[in-house]
Structure 1
Amino acid sequence: MPKDQNASLSVSRRDVVFNGKIWDVVSETFDYQGQKLVREFVAHPGAVAVIALNEQQEILLIKQYRHPVREYLWEVPAGLLDMPGESRLEAAKRELLEETGYIANDWQELIEFHTTPGGNDETISIFLAKDLRLQGHDFELEGEEVDLEVRWVPLADALSSVMQSQMRSPSAGYGIMALAHQLGVSIND
């Protein structure tokens, strides 16, 4: 079975080309098989996403505006690893509560992936959350989160939407396909 491998190449120079609010653009010079190569990429703090599953095999989706693609996307709750000292699991719990008002008693790691390994170093860890309860929250959402729509959707329907390119969020796609595989769920026609 193919398996990605870590590599420790010597980086001789690293410059921040652009310092952003959430991520930076960096330029690195590194040695690769006797050559000095220069690559620019987005240096990202990483993120987490949550597939929240209820007893009816429905998953919790959110619809959120994403400006770079000028679309409202159906996604799973997700967010940045931007709180110092916070574990990936703690970040996933925080994001589920912040974006949906739900908390979960049962958590497990589902899958992890690199979003765009040729252009950034972001890795997203997706967690499965079960045994959910609506708690609500007492803070106001900001920016593109102010009009989030939250909806329970049958897992088979969400899988069908991903496979027909109707739902194109990579976190949702990866997480939905991983969970469907784990549970033996197939596409509804």
Structure 2
Amino acid sequence: MTTFDHETRSRVQRYAGPIFSVYTDVVTMPGGGTAARDLTENKGAVGVVALDDAGRVVLIKQYRHPVRRKLWELPAGLRDVAGEDLALTAARELAEEVDLRAGRLDLLLDLHTSPGFSDETIRLFLARDLSPVPEEQRHVRTDEEADLEIARFDLDEAVAMVLRGEITNAAAVGGVLAAAAARAADWATLRPADTPAI
């Protein structure tokens, strides 16, 4: 069997922004040719499947402009603080978006969100032993977060929502299904929160 390295021969930057940058790379292909491939380089993100003592998952409904509608999602956010531990980023997003703290965080899943054009990854944590953030310490939500809806669904109902097409956000789909699978395995598939990132 012959292995072939897809070597980047050239790169042109098309856009540089605060969250992602866009490039066109010319890449070698099997058979000796090359092909142009557009890609985005992204900061990456974290998300949280927050599961309460009653077995309900906390979801948010938030406006997403590219699809022009509100989607059910997990509490999540960008890895935009340099050097910040990913579990700490997840805990911060959980507090900011749904006013909750977790007594326990485990690594649930790592995902490449759209590898056909982006290097973005999202690390999903399972949060349990939830408690409310005190009122005076709560984050003030702005922009799309200003009118987000927070709801709790039984985990089995959230799985059904995925299968009915009511939850379509990729991270939420992966997180809900992974949490249900982890629960079915009596949580044996969970990994430590500080497992090295992909």
Task: Using structure 2 for the length normalisation, give the TM-score.
Answer: 0.84
The SS at the match of 2:110 is strand
Whole-angstrom CA distance in 2 between matches of 1:15 and 1:143? 33
Whole-angstrom CA distance in 2 between matches of 1:111 and 1:182? 10
Q: State the AA in 2 paired with 1:89.
A: A
Deviations 1:20-60 (A, max 9, x none): 23111111122233333221112111111100011111011
Deviation beyond 3 Å, 4+ runs, structure 1: 136-139
The SS at the match of 1:64 is strand
The SS at the match of 1:85 is coil
Which aligned pairs between 1:36-75 and structure 2 lie closer than 5 A? 36-75=34-73
Flag structure 1 segments of 5+ consecutive residues without an equivalent.
1-6
Deviations 1:106-155 (A, max 9, x none): 11110111111111111111100001110143432121000111111110
Q: State the AA in 2 paired with 1:102.
A: L
- Offset at 1:8? 6.3
Residue 4 of structure 1: aligned partner = none
Whole-angstrom CA distance in 2 between matches of 1:160 and 1:138? 32
The SS at the match of 1:121 is coil
Residue 107 of structure 1: aligned partner = 105
- Offset at 1:87? 2.1
Residue 170 of structure 1: aligned partner = 170
Which aligned pairs between 1:21-170 and structure 2 lie closer than 5 A? 21-33=18-30, 34-136=32-134, 137-170=137-170
Whole-angstrom CA distance in 2 between matches of 1:10 and 1:46? 23
Whole-angstrom CA distance in 2 between matches of 1:58 and 1:64? 19
Residue 12 of structure 1: aligned partner = 9
Task: Using structure 1 for the length normalisation, give the TM-score.
Answer: 0.88
